[in-house]
Amino acid sequence: MAIRNPTRAGDDRTRARRSSDRLAAVLPGLLVAGAAAAIGYAVNHQIGAASPLVVAIALGMLLSALGGSRPRLRDGLRLASSTLLRTGIVLLGLQLVVSDIHRLGVGPIVVVLVSVATAFVVTRWVGRRLGLTPARSLLVATGVAICGASAVAAMNQVADGEDDDAVTAVAVVTVLGTLSLALLPVLGLLLGLDDATFGMWIGASVHEVGQVVAIGGAVGAAALSTAVVVKLFRVALLAPLVAAVAIGRRSAAQEDDGAELPPILPWFVAGFLAMVALRTTGWLPGGVLTAASTASTLLLATAMFALGAAVNLRAVARSGRSAVSAGAIGTAVLAATSLAGLALVT
């Protein structure tokens, strides 16, 4: 008869107790954040232009305004704003198909690249001139140039900023994206753009995927399909942009002997690229892709609630005007540059 080692049995009980304690610590915050994400998802089903991420971050800010997160919620919210956020970004890669982007043609691809790069540089420069911190100007520029709240959340993982910076940037792209819902269809009509060109312009200049779908769907099927592909190409640019910033931070840290070196390529960026490659193979069935898309949305919305719950609303209000001004200038540059470029290549 085997005799169990009492020391090993004690170690097993200790590990089990620690796991139980850890679960008890994170569960309240995760449940509250998950409920907020579910509300955001439900609102999006009723109002397509309302991003679940934006709804969730607004609920988090409401919690902050009512007194902030209680100590029992903090461990779970911290997990949501780190691990769950990065996992959601990884799954976001399954929305991209390289072959769809390739079918756009060289001209539109070059136009999007130039427009995104120009808007990013201009927004950062204007933000710094208006007094924004480096991290805040970086996040606003990323949200404007790439893909709204998702881009802000991803860049926030390497920007070395505060939660207030991320919330401010999300608020900026939300306000400007909402204005786009009203302005771009009118401008497209006045300019006499055909559906395909208008769809490309929407995808190249509107911040949130949901907003792109709402505008494109109102114009027609041709505009919608083109707009979504162009928008997803902008989403694909998120990975190299985050990687470039991470490499830049690593180079700066190497000059400081006492600084901890960040990774050359953050694991969630590598995971994002791996998911893009997997989706491009065509191996995954539609049901898996739908489930992954829903999971990514819910994870990102859960993380956004956690970010919103941690903000200092007074700090956000103090820099809000400067951030909106920088974002508005960047958005105007993005729209004008992409429209001019498309006029030349289409």
pLDDT tens track for 269-317 = 899 999 999 999 989 999 999 999 999 999 999 998 988 887 766 766 7
- In 220-312, which ranges are continuous DSSP H helix? 221-236, 238-254, 267-281, 286-309
Number of structural domains the chain divides into: 1
* In-domain check, residue 236: yes
Task: Please state the separation of Cα 307 from the chain's center in Å.
Answer: 12
Distances (CA, A) of 102 to 64, 98, 212: 44, 6, 20
* In-domain check, residue 260: yes
Residues 6+ apart with CB under 8 A from 248: none
* In-domain check, residue 108: yes
Residue 214: which domain range?
Answer: 26-345
* In-domain check, residue 199: yes
Indicate if the pLDDT at residue 88 is higher than 80: yes
Residues 6+ apart with CB under 8 A from 121: 141
Cβ atoms within 10 Å, residue 21? 10
Lowest-confidence segment of 75-79, 120-124, 251-255 by average pLDDT: 251-255
Give me the pLDDT at residue 1, please: 47
Using CA of residue 298, residue 170, residue 206, residue 277, what is the dihedral sign? negative
DSSP conformation class of 144: I
* In-domain check, residue 56: yes
312-331 residues labelled b (16+ CB within 10 A) or e (exposed)? eeeebeebeebbbbbbbbbb
* In-domain check, residue 46: yes
* In-domain check, residue 8: no
* In-domain check, residue 19: no
Cβ atoms within 10 Å, residue 22? 12
